[in-house]
Chains A and B, each alone.
Chain A
Amino acid sequence: MYYLYVAIFGAFGAVTRYWISSALSVELFPYNTLLINIVGCFLLAVTVKYLTTLPNFSKNFVIGIGTGFIGSFTTFSTFSTEVSLMITRGDSFLAACYIFASIIGGFLSAALGFYVSSRIIRRKEIRENGN
């Protein structure tokens, strides 16, 4: 059953990525892929940390959103081919900036997702327990 959810959500994740990256077409620096990957890191962290605690979200749905949609929305192969092309055409500095922005940006974005999720969970606990 999980496979069906991953298949359907994964299809929509790829389409959303295609839609955004075509809407923001770029020449020298791949802002579109960078934006997609950084946003996706935040969303996956929230899915893993927060959505799994919600009783109305079945495991099917969480795997669909996390592994399917967000996993498919973000991409590593486009990142590495873009870097490879940038280095090949002599833009090594730009390539280094892109690698740095992706790695640090994605990591901090995932960390922010974890942080925001634990704040929401904490706030809910306080509201429910009244202390």
Chain B
Amino acid sequence: MAINYLMVFLGGSLGAVCRYAISIQMKRIISTEFPLATFLINLSGSFLLGLLLASHTDGLIQLLLGTGFLGGFTTFSTFQVENLTLFRKGNYGMLLIYVTVSVGLCIVFAYLGFRLGN
């Protein structure tokens, strides 16, 4: 039991650090209204989680890489706070694009991950 939590703990720690590093670097390179960093993080994380789940690897590896790393790497709360910020700025067009593209493509990419892993 404790080993399960340890796997999630280690993976989650690394996932959060990678997300933080990528979003800082992206903001430094590209200045855009569109929350590109969160979008790319969620998109790649969805694909990789689909791939991992389909690959039927060991339970502990799934906890380390899936629940821990990819769960911690991708984020729903930042996505929604970004949506709210776009809404409050009156940037409704961008809001609609961001929600649609994030939800739509992440589901498609998760599916592609599953297909590729099988």
Contacts and interface: CB of A to CB of B under 8 A. Distances in A.
Nearest to A11: B13
B111 A84 contact: yes
Interface residues of B, number: 50
A109 B80 contact: yes
A77 B70 contact: yes
A72 B107 contact: no
A103 B20 contact: no
Interface stretch (A35-43, A54-62, A120-128): A35-43
Instruction: Tell me whether chain B's interface is mostly helix, strand or loop, or mixed.
Output: helix
Given A7-B16, A71-B77, A75-B76, A81 B46 contact: yes
B28 to A, nearest CB: 14
Interface residues of A, number: 51
Given A14-B11, A67-B20, A80 B106 contact: yes
A3 B45 contact: no
Contacts of A12: 9, 12
A53 to B, nearest CB: 16
A41 B77 CA distance: 4
Contacts of A111: 84
Contacts of B19: 67, 71
A103 B104 CA distance: 12
Nearest to B49: A77
A77 B74 contact: yes
Contacts of B77: 37, 40-41, 43-44, 70-71, 73-74, 106, 110
Given A72-B12, A77-B74, A80-B109, A110 B67 contact: no
B79 A76 contact: yes
Contacts of B42: 76-77, 80
Given A74-B77, A80-B103, 19 more contacts: A10-B20, A11-B9, A11-B10, A11-B12, A13-B72, A14-B12, A14-B68, A15-B8, A17-B67, A41-B80, A71-B77, A74-B75, A75-B70, A75-B74, A83-B107, A87-B107, A102-B76, A103-B99, A110-B83
Interface of A: 2-3, 6-15, 17-19, 37, 40-41, 43-45, 48, 63, 67-68, 70-81, 83-85, 87-88, 99, 102-103, 106-107, 109-111, 114
